[in-house]
């Protein structure tokens, strides 16, 4: 059984991370979303660069399947998105009011204590690199991490029984974070 589906069209370094963490993953093309051939999973992951055509053609399939992704979320699945790596980006294929602005840098993290379990970075890490920041206008979206200028770098929103998680931190997720989102998510078809 697959716990995580990586939406990407070529091999990606994330696959080795999931192997190392002993999390069952499968890389799939976003064009295959909603087909009867995909097994149920708990989490969809869109790696850094998902909206940049220089890196991948993933976004076309994601946008085309927005209703299936929303249904997946409402049924208890989790969608984890990293920085789209384009100058500006609106997540209009998700039921979330969120915008990304590309800007590379490093920062001292500000952690929002009540959402600590959703932090992609281990507690002992204080400084991270990022590829952009988020602009959150949805009052039902919770900020998990901020940069030193108080700009959101990670946000989570409940969508039905599932969670949409956006993160612009340019670091691999911690083992604890990935295990938490897999454990809290329901296995569902997309």
Q: What is the mean pLDDT of residues 53-66?
A: 94
Q: What is the pLDDT of residues 90-114, one digit of tens each?
A: 999 999 899 999 999 999 999 998 8
Q: Which residues of 37-59 are buried (b: 16+ CB within 10 A; e: fewer)?
A: eeebbbbbbbbbbbbbeebbebb
pLDDT value at 138 more than 90 = no
pLDDT value at 34 more than 90 = no
State the DSSP code for 41: B
Identify whether the C-beta of residue 190 lies closer than 8 Å to the C-beta of residue 77: yes
- What is the topology classification, in CATH, of domain 4-184? Rossmann fold (3.40.50)
Nearest partner of 165 among 144, 189, 137, 186, judged by Cα:
144
What was the pLDDT predicted at 115? 86
pLDDT value at 154 more than 90 = yes
| Domain map (residue ranges) of the chain | 4-184
What was the pLDDT predicted at 37? 85
The token pair that represents 131 in the structure block: 């590829």
Site of tokens 């938490």:
180
Query: What pLDDT band is residue 118 in, cutting at 50, 70 and 90?
Result: confident
Q: What is the mean pLDDT of residues 125-131?
A: 95
pTM, two decimals, is: 0.96
Identify whether the C-beta of residue 33 lies closer than 8 Å to the C-beta of residue 62: yes
């Amino acid at each position: 059984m697959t716990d995580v589906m990586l939406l990407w069209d070529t091999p990606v370094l994330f696959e080795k991370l999931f192997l190392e963490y002993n999390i069952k993953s499968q890389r799939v093309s976003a064009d295959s979303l909603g087909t009867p051939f995909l097994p149920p999973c708990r989490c969809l992951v869109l790696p850094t660069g998902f909206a940049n055509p220089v890196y991948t053609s993933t976004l076309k399939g994601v946008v085309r399947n927005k209703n299936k992704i929303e249904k997946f979320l409402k049924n208890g699945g989790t969608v984890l998105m990293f920085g789209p790596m384009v100058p500006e980006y609106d997540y209009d294929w998700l039921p979330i009011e969120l915008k990304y602005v590309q800007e590379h840098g490093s920062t001292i993290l500000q952690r929002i204590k009540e959402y600590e379990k959703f932090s992609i970075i281990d507690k002992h890490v204080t400084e991270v690199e990022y590829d952009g920041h988020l602009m959150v206008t949805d009052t039902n979206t919770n900020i998990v991490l901020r940069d030193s200028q108080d700009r959101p770098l990670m946000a989570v929103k409940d969508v039905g029984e599932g969670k949409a998680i956006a993160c612009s931190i340019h670091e691999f997720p911690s083992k604890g974070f990935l295990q938490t989102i897999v454990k809290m998510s329901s296995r569902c078809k997309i």
